[in-house]
Structure formats: C-alpha cells, structure tokens
Structure 1
Amino acid sequence: MKPGDVCLAVTVAVIWGLAFVASRIALDEFSPPLMTALRFCVAALPCLLVPRPKVSWPVLIAISLTLFLGQFLAQAYGIAHGVPVGLSSVIVQSQALFTITFAAIVFRELPTPLQGVGIGIAVVGLLMICGTVGYDFSAGAFAVIAISPICFAIGNLLLRRAGGAPMFDLFAWLCLVAAIPLLALALLLDGPQATWQALRHMSLTGLACILALGGISTSIAYWLWGRLLRDNPAAQVVPFALLVPFVGSAASSVVFGERFGRLRLAGMITVVGGIAVMLLAKRRQAPSKPVLPGVT
C-alpha cells in the first residue's frame, strides 16, 4: 500500500472507533431507534444526487435490514442499556467470526486450519467476556448487542448479491432503506410527542454527534474504505480494522473513565487476537471477497 493509503486506512479505523463514543453521547438525548434513524437520514442525503444502483429492491432491503438496521439498532440498544463502549467495539468486531462460520454453513466455504484456530481463540475470548456479564450490565443487554455482529455477518454475505454496484451509491441507498422503518419504529415506541420533543430540544452536542455518525462515520468513512479495497489487495486493507476496538476502548477510557477488569480485558484481547489470526489466514490465501470490519 502507498503511504497515503495507509494513512487513509488508519484514519478510517480511528473514525469508526470514535463513532462508538459519539453514539454513547448521542444516546443521552435520543432513544436508540431515533438516534439510529437520524444517523441514517443524514447518511442517506446523497440519494438526492446519486441514482439507485442496479440492485433489486428485495436484495437492497435484505442487505439494509441486516447490515445497517439490525446491526446498528442492536448496538444502540446495547450501549444504551449499559454495555461499555470499549467492550461494544470488540463484540461488534467479532462479526468476522460469524461471517466465516455462516459462509461455511451456507456456501460450503470451509475455513482453513489457521482460520479454525482463530475462530477457536475468538470463541474463548467471548466466553471470558460472558463470565463478566452481570457485574456492570445485564445479560439481557449483552444478548441484545450480540445480535449486532450476527446481523453484520449476514449482511456481509448478502452484500455479495449486490454485484459490482458503485460502493458510494449503494451505501447511500442502503441508508435510506434503513432510515424509513427506523423512523416509524421511533414514532411507534417513543410516541410522536416524545420524538418531536427530542428533536426540538436537541443540543449542539447531540447535533454534532448525529452529523458525525451519519456524515463522517457512515458516508465518508465507508466510501474511503471502499476506495481502499478497490485500489489495494483486500488482504492489505482489512487488517487495519483491528485498530477499531483499540481506538474505541482507549477513547471510552479517556472520555467516560471506563476501566476493564482483568478477565474482561483478557477476553477482549483474546477476541481481537483470534480475529487477527483469521485475517492473517485470509491474507495468506488472498481472497477476492473481504468481509467488512466491525464498526459503528
């Protein structure tokens, strides 16, 4: 990779890591469905300028409901109900584990021995994290946020159905498809009056977080990541996603004063280590279809 592309890859990873912090701050003002809806409303604005990609509506809807709506709504609910921001970034990153597993089940793409080792390491790390559930957040909150990497993995596989659609156009329309049901869900669960009051009394901090999540973390960062994957071998780009949980954990420690016990910290490091082994295994095989990183 060129030095400029390396800087871009690191920048994208930092943006995605900091997005977990922005989400936590925004959730002080907005309910999970409303915050997620506003995020995608901002990210869908390019639809005013770009045409719908040549992808059928059923495929577009299926990708959007998993890769975006399911993934980010589960993240928002988990964080809103006490799952630490740094831990959330690690759990979402575990989507690589589920993507490889689902690909083996559905497409018979059996993992290599080294990938199998990585899966085993990541599972051990997740079990270590499970051992800390109940101390500062509930098992229910953990179960909800665990839906996020599963939806992410399913969306990764469905994304193959989009063919060679332009990345920027595709993601803009995926955001639009996700925003509509999320707005309806916010109105249904929160009520029209509460939704209007939240929008009316939005602070500058809340607005800045929504604009950052929608405009920077979703639209710009995904576009840059797509460009990097287009111009460089996937095996050189995808490992930079491993920076996301480290940035998210470090930022949450600084901003929110989060501290991790020995078992949880060991589990988080073990999960990231397992994912690193999986990515290194893919790097040796240089596949043509990378998985997207676990981001928010």
Structure 2
Amino acid sequence: MTAPTLKPVHALLALLVMVIWGTNFVVIKLALAHLPPLTFAALRFTLAALPAAFFIKRPAVAWRTLAAYGVLIGVGQFGLLYIAMRGSISPGLASLVVQTQAFFTIGLSMAFTGERLRGFQVAALLLATAGLGWLMAHGGTDVTPLGLGLVLIAAMSWAAGNTVQRAANPANILGFVVWSSLFAIPPLFALALLFDGWPAIAAGLTRSTPATWAAVLWQSVGNTLFGYAAWGWLLGRYPAATISPLSLLVPVFGMAASAALLGEPLLAWKVTAAALVLSGLALNTFWPMLQRRRAGVHAGNVKTARTR
C-alpha cells in the first residue's frame, strides 16, 4: 500500500512550513546582531508561551513531561544553537548540521528500546559523518570546532525532546509546544544573566530596532506557533511517511536563503558536504519506505498467486 499523495493545497502548506523553518536561520542571524544569544532565546520562548497559554488549554500530559520538553528544546536546542550562530557557524551550515538530530534519535531509540542498528542506518551515518568531516576540513571561519560541537549538542537535545514528545503523544501539539515553552523561560533568563551578563542584555535591548523585535516575534509566532501547528495538523491527516521526508528541504532553503540574503558563498566544499549529509538523511528516511513498499508488493503478488 503506497502512502497517500498530498493534496495540492496541503503540499503548499507543507512547503510554506519548510520555507519558514529554513529561512528562519537567516532571521536568527539578523536578531543576533543586536541581542545576546541566551537573551534572544529567552525572549523567543516568552513570546511563544505568553499570552498564548491563557487561550490554549494545557495538554493532558504530566507537568514533568512539559518541563523536560521545554528545557531540552528551549535551552538545549535553541540556546546552544543561538550561541553557536553568534559567530562560530554560518546560518546555512547550522541549518544543515542541526538535521543530524535524526541520527541522535536513532541512538536514543537504541538506548531506551534496545533497537539494533541496521545496515542502511550504518551507511546513512557514515555518509553524514563524512559530510561533517568535510565541513571541518574546509570550514575555516564558516564553521569552527566549537560551532560544530555546539550545534551537534543542540541536535542531540532536539532528538531527546522529540523522544519525550513521542512518548507523551499529545493530542494537541500546539498546546504542548505553548505550555512546555513556559518551562524554558526561567532557565533561559537565569543563564542569560549568568553568561550574557546584564550590561550586554541592557545594551542589546537598547540598540534593538523594530526589525530585531520583528525577528523575535517571527521566531515565536511564525516559526514556533504557526510552524508547529501546521506541521502537527498535516501529521494528523497524513502518515509520517508522507510528511516527514519534506523536512529534508529545511537545509536546502536554509543554505539558499543564507546565500541569497546574507551573501554566504555556496562554495564547492559546502555543496559537497551538504550532499553527503543530505544523502545520509535521505537514505535513513527513504530506505525503510522502499522496503515497506517492496514487502507490500511481494505480499500482493503472493495473494494474487494464491487466488488463481
């Protein structure tokens, strides 16, 4: 049985979400020109949670689940991503490297469920690792060891957050994101005071422009509330096998937007690294789908033969 085809209007909605999530890395870079990274993250999750929490019902999941997801995504994923993007990795490459969360998700599944690493996953991981190695060999100022390390930890935090979310299986993903964001706010503001420092926070707020606040609002409303709500709505109407592969477009839009809007050069070594990482992600995504399709065709042929 093949996965259902997206209706044109739903395909456009999915494409819009990918454009938003991909170009979001450029928006992050623009806001970081004025705001310290942890301050920016704290403001982002404050506006994602408030005032929406007053209007959106709390999902029927444990408070500790909301807290775990909020801290993993708020502090672990975006806090570290923003620090890295302050000057240790370019927006285009950040959009690519953070997608390695798919492989950390496999690792967490192995650790908690006893799932064994399969052959195609080994091949996919080797391709992605080769791409990351190529980045470090040629990166220069576009990606430093610190930047790569921080984004990889951010990807691991994203994977852990996804694991928490899947275990909770909330019926209302938007409510889950809004209410979990409340738990990201206190640690982010505390870490901002500790690491950004009040003088830098005050200076950042003072020199912020309407464009800076528009970027913060875009992070909260466009990227988080609209993006997650639309994605959750699509996943509720189509199988994951139909929707999930579209996420491979995020680094494509991310690198293209960074090149077009920020002048980040798309050099041959970047394209090569991206091709290796995306090949690994594509193999990890599409190989199980291909195997299921083959199994379905084989089962159908056997059934047909038996009825003759």
Question: Which residue identity does 1:43 align to in structure 2?
Answer: A
Give the superposition deviation at 1:78.
0.9
Give the superposition deviation at 1:204.
0.9
Q: Provide the secondary structure at the position in 1 that maps to 2:236.
A: helix
Question: Of residues 95, 105, 108 in structure 2, which corresponds to 1:102?
Answer: 108
Is the radius of gyration larger for structure 1 or structure 2? 2
Q: Provide the secondary structure at the position in 1 that maps to 2:33.
A: coil
Give the superposition deviation at 1:62.
1.4
RMSD: 1.8
Show CA shifts across 1:153-191 (max 9, x none): 111112223233411100001112112211222123333
Pairing 1:118–2:124 present: yes
Question: Of residues 201, 205, 215 in structure 1, which corresponds to 2:207?
Answer: 201
**Contact 2:88 2:141 survives alignment (8 Å):** no
Show CA shifts across 1:105-138 (max 9, x none): 3212234433332222222212222222445443
Pairing 1:162–2:162 present: no
Q: Distance in 2 between matches of 1:118 and 1:136?
A: 24
Correspondence 1:80-91 to 2 at 5 A: 80-91=86-97
TM superposition score normalised by structure 1: 0.90
Give the superposition deviation at 1:97.
1.4
2:184: which partner in 1?
178
Structure 1 window deviating more from structure 2 (55-64 vs 217-226): it is 55-64
Give the superposition deviation at 1:68.
3.0
Structure 1 window deviating more from structure 2 (253-262 vs 1-10): it is 253-262
Structure 1 window deviating more from structure 2 (108-117 vs 22-31): it is 108-117
**Contact 1:77 1:145 survives alignment (8 Å):** no
Q: Provide the secondary structure at the position in 2 that maps to 1:231.
A: coil
**Contact 2:32 2:86 survives alignment (8 Å):** yes
Question: Of residues 9, 18, 31 in structure 1, which corresponds to 2:23?
Answer: 18
2:44: which partner in 1?
39
- After superposition, the Cα gap between the structure-2 partners of 1:282 and 1:8, relative to the gap in structure 1 and judged at 3 Å, is farther
- After superposition, the Cα gap between the structure-2 partners of 1:176 and 1:258, relative to the gap in structure 1 and judged at 3 Å, is same
**Contact 2:17 2:227 survives alignment (8 Å):** yes
Q: Provide the secondary structure at the position in 2 that maps to 1:52.
A: coil
Structure 1 window deviating more from structure 2 (157-166 vs 129-138): it is 129-138
Q: Where does structure 2 lack aligned partners over 5 or more consecutive residues?
A: 1-5, 293-308
Give the superposition deviation at 1:206.
0.2
TM superposition score normalised by structure 2: 0.87
Q: Distance in 1 between matches of 2:83 and 2:117?
A: 32
Q: Distance in 2 between matches of 1:15 and 1:137?
A: 23
Q: Percent same amino acid among aligned pairs?
A: 33
Q: Distance in 1 between matches of 2:289 and 2:225?
A: 27
Pairing 1:247–2:221 present: no
Q: Distance in 2 between matches of 1:64 and 1:274?
A: 29
2:275: which partner in 1?
269
**Contact 1:59 1:161 survives alignment (8 Å):** no
Question: Of residues 211, 219, 224 in structure 2, which corresponds to 1:213?
Answer: 219
Q: Where does structure 1 lack aligned partners over 5 or more consecutive residues?
A: 287-296
Q: Distance in 1 between matches of 2:150 and 2:92?
A: 16
Q: Distance in 2 between matches of 1:235 and 1:243?
A: 15
1:68: which partner in 2?
74
Pairing 1:139–2:125 present: no
Show CA shifts across 1:18-38 (max 9, x none): 110000000001001011111
Give the superposition deviation at 1:74.
1.2
1:294: which partner in 2?
none
Correspondence 1:277-296 to 2 at 5 A: 277-284=283-290
Structure 1 window deviating more from structure 2 (56-65 vs 18-27): it is 56-65
Structure 1 window deviating more from structure 2 (31-40 vs 143-152): it is 143-152
